[in-house]
Amino acid sequence: MLRTISIWILGFAAGFASGSPEVPSTDQSESFTFVAFGDRTGGPSTGVEILESAVEMTNWLDPDLVMTVGDLVEGQCLPKQWIEQAGEFRGIMDALSMPWFAVAGNHDVYPMKGRGDDNVGLYRDHFGELTYSFDHKFAHFIVLFSDEALGYHNPRTEQNMSQAQMDWLRDDLAKSDAKQVFVFLHHPRWTKRYSGCNWDEVHSIFAADGRSTTVVGGHVHALRDDGMRDNVHYLTLATTGGWPKKGLDHATLHHITQFQVRSDSVSIVHIPIGSVLPGDAFAGEEIDEIYRLGRGEWVSIEGLISRDGISPIHVQINNPTARVIEYKVAMHIPNDWDVLPEISSFTLEPGGQKSIELVVTTPQGSRSPSVLPEVIVRAYYPHKHGKIQPISIKQSVSIED
Q: What is the pLDDT of residues 116-147, one digit of tens each?
A: 789 999 999 999 999 999 999 999 999 999 99
Q: Which residue has the higher pLDDT, 202 or 279?
A: 202
d(CA 103, CA 144): 8
The CA–CA distances, whole Å, from 221 to 237, 242, 293 equal 7, 7, 44
- Terminal Cα distance for the chain, rounded: 61
Percent of the chain with pLDDT over 70: 94
Q: How far is CA 151 from the centre of its chain?
A: 31
The dihedrals phi and psi of 49, each to the nearest 5 degrees, come to: -70, -35
Give the pLDDT confidence score for residue 336 in this predicted structure: 87
Q: What is the pLDDT of residues 334-381, one digit of tens each?
A: 988 999 999 999 999 999 999 999 999 988 877 778 889 999 999 999
Instruction: Note the helical H segments in 96-152.
Output: 106-109, 120-127
pLDDT above 60 (res 257): yes
Q: What is the pLDDT of residues 271-316, one digit of tens each?
A: 999 999 888 888 899 999 999 999 999 999 999 998 778 999 999 9
C-beta of residue 145 within 8 angstroms of C-beta of residue 165: yes
C-beta of residue 223 within 8 angstroms of C-beta of residue 26: no
pLDDT above 80 (res 248): no
Give the pLDDT confidence score for residue 19 in this predicted structure: 62
pLDDT above 80 (res 206): yes
pLDDT above 50 (res 319): yes
Give the pLDDT confidence score for residue 309 in this predicted structure: 84
Residue 288, C-beta contacts closer than 8 angstroms, at least 6 positions apart: none
pLDDT above 60 (res 11): no
Task: With 0.85 as the threshold, say if the pTM is over it.
Answer: no
pLDDT above 70 (res 259): yes
Q: What is the pLDDT of residues 142-165, one digit of tens each?
A: 999 999 999 999 999 999 999 999
CA Rg value for the chain: 31
The beta strands (E) that lie in 333-397 are given as: 338-340, 343-348, 353-362, 374-382, 388-396
Mean residue pLDDT across the chain: 91
CB atoms within 10 A of CB 95: 12
Give me the domains of the chain, ranges plus CATH numbers.
Answer: 31-272 (3.60.21.10), 284-396 (2.60.40.10)
Partners of 346 in beta bridges: 327
Of 111-115, 163-167, 188-192, 239-243, the range with the lowest mean pLDDT is: 111-115
Minimal CA–CA distance to 340: which of 349, 348, 331? 331
Q: What is the pLDDT of residues 212-235, one digit of tens each?
A: 999 999 999 999 999 999 999 999
d(CA 383, CA 286): 7
Partners of 239 in beta bridges: 39, 254
